[in-house]
């Protein structure tokens, strides 16, 4: 895999260690070649480092296994998941889901990435239905551009939504960028 192919969530081996890509940013400066700056999390220790790769630099990608699970409940900093085929339960750290841990709901289908029998990360569906529990009043007056308002969701997150969204409504939110998509 080339440096230009590095994407969020990839797992790579570097200097004898296994790292997961948390952030990546492509940059090009003047006459020099383009580079990719990535934030990596060491799978063993959890430590984060920042590395810079040339776009033509060869990297060793590690392939992980994606397994589906059903979210059951949260207990402290851990979440309980169930493997749908064997009904075997697994308890993992909520941190595996990162910022998307706020979207976890009962009976939600989630995916865990495994490498060498260890869970590296978790992901939720790209679209989740949430209930609006608090909404700002609509902006008065006519405007040329749509005026979005902040709404508080049942999971504690705040997103921008169109003025017609009211308290008690179910809306679909993108878990990728925490944005309003449509009414449910």
Which residue would you say has higher pLDDT here, 79 or 9?
79
Over residues 1-16, the mean pLDDT reads 85
- Looking at 12, 43, 62, the residue that finishes a domain is 62
Over residues 165-183, the mean pLDDT reads 92
Over residues 82-88, the mean pLDDT reads 93
My answer on whether 146 and 168 are in the same domain is: yes
Supply the CATH number for residue 11's domain: 2.30.30.30
pLDDT for 75: 92
Residue 160 pLDDT > 90, yes or no? yes
pLDDT for 144: 66
My answer on whether 161 and 115 are in the same domain is: no
My answer on whether 47 and 76 are in the same domain is: no
My answer on whether 74 and 90 are in the same domain is: yes
Helices (H), 1-132: none
Residue 143 pLDDT > 70, yes or no? no
Give, in order, the Cα–Cα distances in Å from 111 to each of 62, 114, 159, 170, 178: 18, 10, 24, 24, 19
CA distance 125 to 181: 14
Within 8 A by CB and 6+ apart from 6, the residues are: 12, 21, 24, 36, 38, 53, 59
Bridge partners (DSSP) of residue 40 are: 21, 49
My answer on whether 94 and 57 are in the same domain is: no
- Reading the block at residue 73, the tokens are 């409940």
- Give the pLDDT confidence of 22-55 residue by residue, as tens digits: 888 888 887 778 889 999 988 888 889 999 988 8
- Looking at 20, 42, 62, the residue that finishes a domain is 62
Residue 80 pLDDT > 90, yes or no? yes
Residue 180 pLDDT > 80, yes or no? yes
Separation of first and last alpha carbons in the chain: 40
My answer on whether 115 and 77 are in the same domain is: yes
pLDDT category of residue 20 using cuts at 50, 70 and 90 = confident
- Reading the block at residue 69, the tokens are 């699970």
Residue 162 pLDDT > 80, yes or no? yes
CA distance 41 to 48: 4
- Looking at 44, 62, 80, the residue that finishes a domain is 62
My answer on whether 34 and 18 are in the same domain is: yes
Supply the CATH number for residue 170's domain: 2.40.50.140
My answer on whether 165 and 143 are in the same domain is: yes
pLDDT category of residue 142 using cuts at 50, 70 and 90 = low
Over residues 77-86, the mean pLDDT reads 93
My answer on whether 147 and 132 are in the same domain is: yes
My answer on whether 57 and 30 are in the same domain is: yes
What is the count of structural domains for the chain?
A: 3
**Which residue range is the domain that position 75 belongs to?**
65-123
- Give the pLDDT confidence of 98-126 residue by residue, as tens digits: 888 999 999 999 999 998 888 888 899 99
Residue 10 pLDDT > 90, yes or no? no
């Amino acid at each position: 895999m080339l440096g230009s192919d590095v994407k969020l969530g990839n797992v790579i081996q570097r200097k004898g260690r296994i790292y997961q890509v948390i952030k990546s940013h492509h940059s090009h400066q003047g006459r020099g070649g383009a580079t990719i700056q990535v934030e990596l999390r060491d799978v063993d220790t959890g430590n984060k480092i920042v590395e810079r790769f040339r776009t033509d630099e060869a990297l060793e990608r590690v392939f992980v296994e994606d397994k589906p699970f059903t979210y059951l409940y949260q207990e402290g900093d851990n979440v309980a998941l169930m493997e749908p085929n064997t009904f075997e339960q697994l308890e993992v750290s909520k941190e595996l889901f990162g910022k998307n841990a706020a979207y976890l709901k009962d009976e939600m289908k989630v995916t865990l990435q495994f490498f060498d029998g260890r869970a590296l990360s978790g992901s939720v569906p790209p679209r989740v239905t949430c209930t609006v529990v608090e909404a700002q009043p609509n902006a008065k007056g006519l405007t040329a551009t749509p005026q979005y308002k902040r709404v508080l969701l049942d999971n504690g997150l705040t997103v921008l939504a169109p003025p017609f969204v009211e308290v008690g409504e179910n809306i679909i939110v993108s878990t990728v960028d925490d944005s309003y998509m449509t009414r449910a």
